[in-house]
């Protein structure tokens, strides 16, 4: 008996998965159409099949509305989670194409082609912004900004907070008076 998996079994497995994705697309179109007609469709489905949650049905609605690529439904990798928040056209692009990841190696910048399913959380944040895929120049700025923030000493280490990117980051449990909060808010405006 061979330890290698059967090529026929592997091929059949993939074919069945792809058929499932095709069925998910059809189910998504039905969900989107029915929810548009009557939002109680979600409850009807969940009442009929208690194992299906409203969130699950809504995820299929997103497939039908072409806001979520069906091949990214069950993948929870960091790159896919970020990509799901972006337009469908980008999701479709990265289903079959690698993302370009800028890395610093031995003092020089290189671009690697990486499947989005294999990106680490930090790499996914580097490659995908809230509005799309970052270019190599944008990635370099992102990475250099992170390096600069790590290297920069805290400006006032005795404070229980810091202001970063227009947001208040409370470092330790602290209490603030109204006057202190007002000062913090004015500091955040600058």
What CA–CA distance (Å, rounded) separates 178 from 186? 12
**Predicted pLDDT of residue 163:** 86
Handedness of CA 144, 146, 151, 155 (dihedral sign): positive
For the chain, the farthest-separated pair of C-alpha atoms sits apart, in whole angstroms, at: 78
112 closest CA partner among 125, 94, 99? 99
**Predicted pLDDT of residue 158:** 79
What CA–CA distance (Å, rounded) separates 56 from 1? 41
Handedness of CA 137, 126, 75, 64 (dihedral sign): negative
**Predicted pLDDT of residue 153:** 62
Phi, psi of 105 (to 5 degrees): -130, 120
Helix, coil or strand: residue 163: strand
Cβ neighbours of residue 133 under 8 Å, at least 6 residues apart?
86, 90, 94, 99, 127
What CA–CA distance (Å, rounded) separates 178 from 88? 46
**Predicted pLDDT of residue 150:** 80
**Predicted pLDDT of residue 171:** 87
Mean pLDDT of the chain: 91
The answer to whether 126 touches 142, Cβ cutoff 8 Å, is yes
Helix, coil or strand: residue 166: coil
Positions of the chain with pLDDT under 50: none
Q: Does an H or E element contain 25, and which?
A: helix 7-37
**Predicted pLDDT of residue 159:** 85
**Predicted pLDDT of residue 3:** 62
**Torsion angle of the four alpha carbons 123, 129, 134, 140, in this order, in degrees rounded to the nearest 10:** -60
């Amino acid at each position: 008996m061979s330890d290698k998996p059967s090529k026929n079994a592997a091929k059949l497995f993939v074919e069945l998965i792809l058929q499932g994705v095709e069925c998910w697309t059809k189910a998504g179109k039905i969900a989107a159409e029915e929810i548009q007609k009557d939002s109680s469709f979600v409850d009807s489905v969940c009442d009929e099949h208690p194992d299906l949650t409203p969130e699950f049905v809504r995820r299929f609605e997103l497939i039908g509305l072409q806001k979520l690529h069906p091949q990214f439904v069950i993948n929870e990798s960091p790159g896919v989670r970020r990509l799901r928040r972006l337009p469908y056209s980008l999701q479709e692009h990265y289903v079959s194409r690698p993302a370009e990841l800028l890395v610093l190696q031995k003092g020089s910048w290189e671009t690697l082609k990486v499947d989005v399913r294999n990106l680490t959380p930090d790499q996914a944040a580097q490659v995908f912004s809230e509005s799309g895929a970052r270019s190599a120049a944008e990635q370099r700025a992102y990475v250099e900004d992170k390096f600069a923030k790590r290297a920069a000493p805290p400006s006032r280490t005795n404070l229980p907070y810091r202001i970063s990117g227009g947001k208040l980051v409370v470092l330790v449990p602290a209490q603030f008076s109204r006057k202190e909060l007002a000062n913090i808010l004015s500091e955040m405006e600058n």
